[in-house]
Amino acid sequence: GNSVTQMEGPVTLSEEAFLTINCTYTATGYPSLFWYVQYPGEGLQLLLKATKADDKGSNKGFEATYRKETTSFHLEKGSVQVSDSAVYFCALSDGGSARQLTFGSGTQLTVLP
């Protein structure tokens, strides 16, 4: 079956530091890949997505590139802000069934001023 593995948290960074959150996946076929973000007390929000190999998703300064050869979709940001403190979830979708949307366990990010 499909699976998503994220780097363990929590991650604590100083403001303006570089961020990488690793995500690797196992899937049959050619899934779409997503990063969702969850702020305290809220539901998940789509941050970015990529639907095929070598696609780069980007939003709000965050980027992730769909790497089929390494089955990875690492999230990066060049300069984090305190407001980026949240939990980040990597996810994949086969698209064929609602059951085929698989989430990673989430990575808590805290950015200190």
Closest contact distance (angstroms) between CB of 51 and other proteins is: 9
22 closest CA partner among 5, 10, 3, 37: 5
49/59 Cα distance (integer angstroms): 9
Measured in degrees and rounded to the nearest 5, phi and psi for residue 98 equal -60, -25
Residue 93, interface with other proteins (CB under 8 A)? yes
Q: Of the candidates 49, 66, 74, 109, which one interacts with other proteins according to CB under 8 A? A: 49
Q: Which residue has the tokens 């961020």?
A: 19
Selected range binding other proteins among 14-22, 37-45, 67-75, 78-86, rule: CB under 8 A = 37-45
Residues in contact with other proteins by the rule CB under 8 A: 4, 32, 34, 36, 41-46, 49, 89, 93-99, 101, 103-106
